[in-house]
Amino acid sequence: MIKTAFQTSVLLLTTLATTVFASESSVLTKAQRAELQQLTTTASTSDLSYQIVESLTTEVGARMIGTEGDKRAIKWAVDKMNALGFDKVWTEEVAHFQWIRGDVEAKITAPFPQPIKAIALGESVGTGEQGIEADVVHFATLADLEAADATRVDGKIVFVSYRMERLKTGRGYGKAVGARVRGASVAAEKGAVGFIMRSVGTANNRLAHTGITRYQNDERRIPAVALSNPDADLLINQLKRNKPVRFFLKVTAMRNEVVTVKGANVIGEITGSQWPEQIVALGAHLDSWDVGTGAIDDGLGVGMVMATAAHIGQLDKRPKRTIRVILFAGEEVGLLGAKQYLIDHQATLKDHVIAAEWDFGLGKIYSMQANVAEPAIPAIDELASYLAPLGVAYNTANQGRGQSDMGLITDQGVPAMNFTPDGLRYFDIHHTENDTLDKVVPEDLQQNTAVYTIFAYFAAQADVEFRKAN
């Protein structure tokens, strides 16, 4: 195998780090540091995580909770964990109601008729067969809509045009996503008949981005769709002509709340040799939206955490603590798997010594931040020294939160580790038909997996109390 520049530099530097960090006070023993070095070499040269994403996207594809794809994904995950040599593999049921996407027909009907590319927001109601047609009322932001008088909105189709910022940290998403989650409810409260918004996404292609919307009020629910970025621009340009702009929307989505569908958290363990009840938890979500094949959201994470556990499982001896991989169900529709996990594992949450999830980013990890007890900080310093050769800087703020599902779990007092990747390109693809395997950069995924492998091994071997005293 020809080594990439990344692999060569990691191997050289890791050798240096594991040799240099040999002070008497180090957490890992000399033998463990040697084993970590071997493990780093394995993870930095293996394409296992990529092969797992390739398998998931090829053999399963889209997997929204409760769909046939999701059922196949659950079976796929159980089989894959068994094949990878996990010691225990099981599923825990998660229930939800049925939602069927259907189709969207969207067009400007006046003053200059043009078809518009749009997608239903997740769990939107439909319009009925006739569709709806109404004048558009435009707001630049959700806050502007919230502040608006109901008389401006009543009987109209509300359009929120806020454009998500492209940032390496991905923080533009947090500022933009409120309109998607709450916009339809706010518009409905003021009498709107439909809600359209610029996609929460950074691409300039004509694909719209889906994602969950939530109805606050069961009585007033209106159809909600996202427009592609160029179509949102087109609509704005027509509005600038200062003539009434009329919009037609037909959404055949069905929200069948009386129909229960089942998903499952899929859980697998490499069982600890000394403290098996103590858990290092690694998360990703197994479900995806029903468009694309769920490669970056969150096939990447699934590949990384499964490969991490598999690499550690290949060592001669199990580490002291258990490494538990949790592939959460129904993340996309409201962190359902994480909520169920908290219910199912309330009694043993105290035994979760530290947790990390991967549910963001396409690029290399460039920063890490922990959230641990003060006395554990020197241990995190040591972990940082093992990760520095991979290009991971150490943010010492000690306020890290688990991503996505693991955020809920770390909010319950489980110590967290957060790894931040380059997120510049992620929201070009996120929640679109373009979320496919070709977007995955194998070399970046290899670095990501090496980082998780080092972290998981360290946390599983370190005789350190990460948890803050209550």
Shortest Cβ 431–Zn ion spacing (Å): 6
Shortest Cβ 297–Zn ion spacing (Å): 4
Interface residue with Zn ion among 290, 359, 435, 444 (CB under 5 A) is 359
- Cβ proximity to Zn ion: between 338 and 450 the closer is 338
Q: What are phi and psi of 398, to 5 degrees?
A: 55, 40
Q: What track of x and - describes contact with Zn ion for positions 212 through 251 (by CB under 5 A)?
A: ----------------------------------------
140 DSSP assignment = S
- Cβ proximity to Zn ion: between 278 and 432 the closer is 432
Gyration radius of the chain's alpha carbons: 24
Token pair in block for residue 26? 């180090």
- Cβ proximity to Zn ion: between 276 and 334 the closer is 334
Q: What are phi and psi of 129, to 5 degrees?
A: -60, -30
d(C-alpha 372, C-alpha 397), whole Å: 10
Find out whether 214 and 180 touch, Cβ atoms under 8 Å. no
Residues 34-53 that bind Zn ion (CB under 5 A): none
Q: What track of x and - describes contact with Zn ion for positions 294 through 323 (by CB under 5 A)?
A: ---xx-------------------------
Shortest Cβ 138–Zn ion spacing (Å): 27
Q: Which residue has the tokens 């296992």?
A: 48
268 DSSP assignment = E
- Cβ proximity to Zn ion: between 70 and 298 the closer is 298
Span near Zn ion by CB under 5 A; candidates 9-17, 232-240, 330-338, 461-469 = 330-338
d(C-alpha 32, C-alpha 21), whole Å: 12
- Cβ proximity to Zn ion: between 359 and 433 the closer is 359
Shortest Cβ 285–Zn ion spacing (Å): 5
Token pair in block for residue 147? 């502040």
Query: How many CB atoms neighbour CB 155 within 10 A?
Result: 11
- Cβ proximity to Zn ion: between 173 and 247 the closer is 173
Find out whether 181 and 214 touch, Cβ atoms under 8 Å. yes
Shortest Cβ 362–Zn ion spacing (Å): 12
- Side chain identity at residue 126, one-letter code: G
The continuous run of DSSP H or E covering 242 comes out as none
Span near Zn ion by CB under 5 A; candidates 70-78, 326-334, 365-373, 436-444 = 326-334
Shortest Cβ 290–Zn ion spacing (Å): 12
- Cβ proximity to Zn ion: between 268 and 301 the closer is 301
Shortest Cβ 83–Zn ion spacing (Å): 24
Token pair in block for residue 245? 């702009």
CA angle 337, 252, 198 (to 5 degrees): 75
Shortest Cβ 325–Zn ion spacing (Å): 16
d(C-alpha 274, C-alpha 37), whole Å: 22
Shortest Cβ 310–Zn ion spacing (Å): 22
Span near Zn ion by CB under 5 A; candidates 3-11, 196-204, 354-362, 385-393 = 354-362
- Separation of CA 216 from chain center: 24
Q: What track of x and - describes contact with Zn ion for positions 332 through 351 (by CB under 5 A)?
A: x-------------------
d(C-alpha 297, C-alpha 2), whole Å: 29
Three-class SS state of 76: helix
- Cβ proximity to Zn ion: between 297 and 433 the closer is 297
Residue 100 vs residues 121, 203, 295, 327, 390: alpha-carbon distances, Å: 11, 26, 21, 23, 43
The size of the interface with Zn ion (CB under 5 A), counted in residues, is 4
Span near Zn ion by CB under 5 A; candidates 88-96, 196-204, 358-366, 420-428 = 358-366
188 by Cβ neighbours in 10 Å (0-12 / 13-18 / 19+) ranks as buried
Shortest Cβ 399–Zn ion spacing (Å): 22
d(C-alpha 251, C-alpha 123), whole Å: 12
Query: How many CB atoms neighbour CB 385 within 10 A?
Result: 15
Residues 67-106 that bind Zn ion (CB under 5 A): none
Three-class SS state of 100: strand
Shortest Cβ 6–Zn ion spacing (Å): 25
Shortest Cβ 15–Zn ion spacing (Å): 35
The reply to whether 382 sits near Zn ion by the rule CB under 5 A is no
Token pair in block for residue 429? 């693809």
- Cβ proximity to Zn ion: between 231 and 435 the closer is 435
- Cβ proximity to Zn ion: between 86 and 427 the closer is 427
Q: What track of x and - describes contact with Zn ion for positions 269 through 298 (by CB under 5 A)?
A: ----------------------------xx
Question: Which residues of this protein are in contact with Zn ion, per CB under 5 A?
Answer: 297-298, 332, 359
